[in-house]
């Protein structure tokens, strides 16, 4: 890792080695599939809560949130404000439901409710979501490491990915949870350290940050007008509620953790622990972004460096100096927000502390990716392999499938991250992809739980209508350029809201029509 002082390199290597040793330690206990997928249901609620919190607090938060706050304002923080309401629904309805079924997969019950097609559709949506999530997180960590080391993003993703695959395959869900407990502490401390370093090096300190942030509207939560065509307060609130409803109710990463708890009460406590930790810590990252914005006003050389870097990346190889200068001058804060924190770390943070902060960012990436790999492998084993390929699989064979599936999904996530190189905003890209993939399965899930009288053909027709609406909202802007009246004018974050409600409401309507006829 060229470019890093020996002390920083030592801190990072110690952290990576520790994570691998955790996987090796728990590999001794991973003798069956039940232990691999749900740690035999013996994890305390506080550890599960920290694990869920660590999954929420990914490198998308570490890099994307400060970048978003730097480039615009605190509008995206409204997402965090929606989490308590979604958590209340989850603890009251979802946790008891999944603990009652006893099924490790979040999607098995959909087949009981509506048939094999419903289960398969939800599984496909989930796996696509996981690939998008892992890819965006690999991309986020690569941005920072490239700035610090000079290595290519592709090489960085491959090296970090192999480390994550190694300890996740060895240790299973128990290793995932306990490494996430450690990572939750490291990344929270790392965020506090970054904020301290920015404020202490800024003339005027906190008062200057407040002054500049208030003058430039950096603390705004967005427009409160009922506008669904832009990123208003209400659009982000609705998006946050529906996407977190999907997280707590349909995402295998979270549902699988409900089964690792000793009982239903313990599982519900873990959900609330995650909420009370994540909301204030997410605010901390918005503070970091605004502080960086104020810092940049006092240190314009930092921003000039970032602009030059982004211009070089966007222009074809061999571009002239004048072309680079012209491109750099045309860039806005929204174009380079994700690059500012890595640049600050490179130029302003002393040796030793860089390694500690980088370990925190690595922790943010590794916790979410390892969780996604384990959950994806579990879904593949239960909902695809055992359902369609081999019904009478024994436990030894199932454990082998889980190991292979974990590694394969890790490699696919790496590939997705490499494909995302060049994306302007990690957070925007992830929010759009997650909304598209999650909308359909959440609507189907809510229809199955709430509308008890809805049957297979009503659910199938409602889902088909919902998919059409999701595709229209996603692609009409680019496919129907010559027909503006046929284009969707809603903001992309409304896809999950409209898609979910379309499936649910059409399912209920079709059920009522059938009952009357």
What is the number of other CB atoms lying within 10 angstroms of the CB of residue 403? Answer: 18
Among 152-166, 337-351, 454-468, the least confident range? 337-351
Binning the chain into helix, strand and coil, the percentages to the nearest 5 are 80, 0, 20
Report the alpha-carbon angle 266-239-106, nearest 5: 40
Delineate the domains of the chain, giving CATH numbers in brackets: 6-426 (1.20.1730.10)
Among 322-326, 440-444, 476-480, the least confident range? 476-480
Helix axes 153-200, 116-149, angle to 10 degrees: 70
- Asked if the model's pLDDT at residue 199 lies above 80, the reply is yes
Mind listing the pLDDT tens digit for each residue in 370-420?
A: 878 888 888 888 888 888 888 788 878 888 888 898 899 889 988 888 887
- Asked if the model's pLDDT at residue 76 lies above 50, the reply is yes
Three-state secondary structure call for residue 261: strand
Strand partners, 43: 261
Q: What is the DSSP letter of 481?
A: T
Is 219:74 a contact under the CB 8 Å cutoff?
A: yes
Nearest Cα to 410, choosing from 186, 4, 135?
135
- Asked if the model's pLDDT at residue 150 lies above 80, the reply is no
Three-class DSSP labels, 191-228:
HHHHHHHHHHCCCCHHHHHHHHHHHCCCCCCCCCCCCC
Q: Write 384-391 long-range contacts (CB < 8 A, 24+).
A: 384/123, 387/116, 387/119
Among 31-40, 162-171, 317-326, 396-405, the least confident range? 31-40
Is 65:289 a contact under the CB 8 Å cutoff?
A: yes
Instruction: Quote the pLDDT of residue 358.
Output: 76
Strand partners, 261: 43
Q: What is the DSSP letter of 32?
A: S
d(C-alpha 457, C-alpha 265), whole Å: 36
Mind listing the pLDDT tens digit for each residue in 175-194?
A: 777 777 887 888 788 888 88
Segment 73-86 shows an average pLDDT of 93
Mind listing the pLDDT tens digit for each residue in 205-261?
A: 899 999 999 999 999 998 999 889 988 999 999 999 998 988 888 888 788 888 888
Instruction: Quote the pLDDT of residue 425.
Output: 62
Mind listing the pLDDT tens digit for each residue in 409-467?
A: 889 988 888 887 766 666 566 666 766 767 678 888 889 888 888 889 999 999 999 98
What is the number of other CB atoms lying within 10 angstroms of the CB of residue 333? Answer: 17
- Asked if the model's pLDDT at residue 361 lies above 80, the reply is no
Instruction: Quote the pLDDT of residue 3.
Output: 59
Segment 66-95 shows an average pLDDT of 91
Provide the pLDDT confidence category of residue 505 given band limits of 50, 70 and 90.
very high
What is the number of other CB atoms lying within 10 angstroms of the CB of residue 27? Answer: 17
- Asked if the model's pLDDT at residue 1 lies above 50, the reply is no
Tokens of 136: 């965006």
Task: Give the torsion through C-alpha atoms of 394, 397, 401, 402, to 10 deg.
Answer: 70
Instruction: Quote the pLDDT of residue 7.
Output: 79
- Asked if the model's pLDDT at residue 118 lies above 60, the reply is yes
Segment 19-28 shows an average pLDDT of 73
* Mean of all residue pLDDT scores within the chain: 83
Query: Which of 139-148, 249-258, 302-311, 403-412 ranks highest by mean pLDDT?
Result: 403-412
d(C-alpha 380, C-alpha 295), whole Å: 47
What is the number of other CB atoms lying within 10 angstroms of the CB of residue 89? Answer: 15
Is 252:159 a contact under the CB 8 Å cutoff?
A: no
């Amino acid at each position: 890792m060229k470019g890093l002082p020996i002390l920083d390199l030592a801190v990072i290597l110690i952290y990576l080695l520790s994570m691998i040793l955790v996987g090796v330690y728990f590999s001794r206990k991973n003798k069956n599939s039940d232990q691999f997928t749900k740690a035999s249901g013996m994890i305390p609620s506080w550890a599960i809560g920290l694990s869920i919190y660590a999954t929420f607090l990914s490198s998308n938060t570490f890099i994307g949130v400060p970048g978003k706050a730097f480039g615009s304002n605190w509008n995206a923080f409204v997402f965090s404000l929606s989490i308590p309401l979604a958590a209340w629904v989850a603890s009251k309805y979802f946790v008891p439901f999944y603990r009652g079924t006893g099924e490790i997969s979040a999607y098995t019950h959909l087949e009981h409710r509506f048939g094999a097609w419903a289960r398969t559709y939800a599984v496909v949506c989930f796996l696509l979501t996981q690939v998008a999530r892992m890819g965006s997180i690999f991309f986020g960590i690569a941005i920072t490491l490239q700035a610090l080391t000079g290595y290519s993003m592709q090489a960085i993703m491959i090296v970090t990915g192999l480390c994550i695959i190694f300890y996740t395959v060895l240790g299973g869900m128990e290793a995932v949870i306990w490494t996430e407990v450690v990572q939750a502490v490291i990344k929270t401390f790392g965020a506090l350290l970054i904020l301290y370093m920015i404020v202490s090096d800024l003339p005027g300190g906190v008062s200057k940050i407040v002054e500049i942030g208030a003058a430039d509207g950096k603390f705004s939560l967005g427009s409160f007008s009922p506008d669904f065509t832009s990123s208003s307060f209400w659009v982000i609130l609705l998006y946050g509620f529906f996407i977190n409803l999907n997280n707590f109710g349909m995402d295998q990463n979270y549902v699988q953790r409900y089964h690792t708890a000793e009982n239903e009460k313990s599982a519900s406590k873990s959900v609330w622990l995650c909420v009370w930790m994540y909301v204030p810590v997410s605010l901390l990252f918005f503070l970091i972004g605004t502080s960086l914005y104020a810092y940049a006003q006092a240190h314009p050389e930092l921003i000039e460096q970032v602009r030059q870097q982004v211009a070089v990346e966007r222009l074809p190889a061999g571009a002239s100096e004048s072309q680079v200068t012209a491109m750099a001058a045309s860039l806005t804060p929204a174009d380079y927000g994700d690059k500012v924190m890595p640049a600050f770390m490179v130029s302003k943070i002393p040796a030793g502390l860089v390694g500690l902060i980088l370990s925190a960012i690595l922790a943010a990436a590794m916790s979410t990716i390892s969780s996604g790999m384990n959950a994806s492998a579990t879904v593949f084993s239960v909902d695809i392999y055992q359902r369609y390929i081999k019904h009478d699989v024994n436990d030894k064979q199932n454990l082998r499938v889980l190991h292979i599936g974990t590694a394969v999904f890790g490699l696919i996530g790496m590939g997705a991250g490499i494909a995302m190189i060049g994306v302007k905003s990690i957070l925007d890209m992830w929010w759009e992809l997650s909304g598209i993939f999650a909308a359909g399965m959440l609507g189907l899930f809510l229809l199955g739980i709430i509308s008890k009288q809805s049957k297979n053909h009503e659910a199938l027709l409602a889902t088909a209508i919902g998919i059409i609406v999701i595709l229209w909202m996603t692609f009409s802007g680019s496919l129907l350029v010559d027909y503006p009246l046929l284009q969707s004018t809603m903001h992309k974050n409304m896809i999950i809201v409209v898609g979910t409600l379309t499936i649910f409401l059409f399912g209920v309507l079709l059920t009522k029509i059938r009952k009357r006829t």
